Each structure stands twice: as structure tokens, then as C-alpha cells.
Amino acid sequence: MSFSQSLWNANQALFQSTLELPFNQELAAGTLSRERFCHYMIQDAHYLVAYGRALAVTAAKSDNAEGVVQFANAANEAVVVERALHGGFMRDFGVTPEQFAAAPLTPACHHYTSYLLATAWSATYPVAVAALLPCFWIYAEVGRDIHARSAKDNPYQAWVDTYASEEFHAAVRGVCATVDRLAEEATETTRTAMHAAYKDAARLEWQFWDSAYRLADWQGPLR
């Protein structure tokens, strides 16, 4: 078994719980409220900017040129997607630039982005990469699952299609391959830290979707 597969298997129950979250169930059914989707979309745009920064820091730590290119390109893509959210989805769903700018990070988004940035800056390269992997992999697999059962005329179909694309899954395979290479060369202590970093980020993925459904902010959930 590859190291990346061992990460996935160790967190299989958490992934299943993520699939079963009301947000993802209702997104697939097309019944998710517009308010919840917009809340999520705004936080996701904030998240992607921070994620791009964490990817760029990790690129600078890479042990070879291929890694620099891999994570620098991923950082660029995160920012490109964030701008597409502004130019496309937010416009289509009536979220103005002023509304986005005025929306603070929720506790869940703040926690997740702070964790990724702190790990990218302070941890070793293998551990930083492991912490970044869940956003690639879990998002892609959630997207694949939702895409497979998406309701006809789903108002969120364009969003679903973004994360079910083959291009996105190719990026996942690339990061998994990097994780496997780094784990093969790492000490047992580092591999243990990689497992812990992956699990922490996977938990924060779950929390991000759960928080969006509850419309949670610093005063607590609104639902």
C-alpha cells in the first residue's frame, strides 16, 4: 500500500462523514438554500487566497525543481479560481464585491487557513505537503460523489462540475505521488507527523462544510 493510500484509509470514516454532511447532501440534491451557498462561496474565496499563500510557501521549501513548479502552479491556480468566483459565481448569485470585502472569515475558515499557513511556514516540507493534501483530495472526491448523483437541473451544477473535472483529479494524483516519494525518504517520526498533519486538515475540511451549513460566525451558528 502506498503511503498516500494509508493516509486515506486511516481517515476513511471521516471522509464518509464528510459526504453525509447536510451541506453536501443538499448541494447534490439542488435543495441547498441560496443563503447557505453564498455564505460558503464567500468563505471559500477567502480560503483560496490563504491556501494559495500556503502553497507558495511550500513551493519555496521543495527539495527539487519539480516540487517548486508543482506547488507554485497550484498556488497560481488557487488564486485564479478565487478570481473566477468573484467574476462568475458571485456575480451570478448576487454577491457584490463590497459584500465579499465586508464579510470576515468565519471561525472555521480562520482556523483552517491559520493552520495551513502556520504548518507551511513552520513544519518540514513533507509535513507541509501532507497538510495541503486533504484540500486537493477530499474536495475532489466529494466533488466526484456529488457529481455522480447531482439532481437534474441542479442550480449549483456549474460549481459541482469544477471539482469533478479530470484536471482537478490529475492535480490530486500529482500531490499524492509527491507525498509518497517524500514518505519513502522520510524517518518514521516524519511519517507520523505527516499522518497527524493530514488528519488535522481533513478534520478542518469537515468543519468548513459543517460551519457553512450552520451559517456559523463568531457569535455562533445562526441555524
Q: Which fold has domain 3-153+160-214?
A: Heme Oxygenase; Chain A (1.20.910)
Give the Cα separation of 181 and 198 in Å (integer): 16
Annotated domain spans of the chain: 3-153+160-214
pLDDT band at 221 (very low <50, low <70, confident <90, very high): low
Give the Cα separation of 205 and 110 in Å (integer): 12
pLDDT of residue 220: 62
Helix, strand or coil for residue 141? helix
Give the Cα separation of 13 and 15 in Å (integer): 5
170: exposed, middle or buried (Cβ count in 10 Å: 0-12, 13-18, 19+): exposed
Query: Rounded to an integer, what is the distance from CA 63 to the centroid of its chain?
Result: 24
Contact 138, 130 (CB under 8 A): no
Span 172-191, pLDDT tens digits? 999 999 999 999 999 999 99
Give the Cα separation of 84 and 70 in Å (integer): 21
Taking residue 92's Cβ as centre, other Cβ atoms within 10 Å add up to 11
Span 38-88, pLDDT tens digits? 999 999 999 999 999 999 999 999 999 999 999 999 999 888 877 877 778
Looking at the predicted structure, is the pLDDT value of residue 163 above 80?
no
Helices then strands, counting H and E runs in the chain, come out as 12, 0
Contact 202, 138 (CB under 8 A): yes
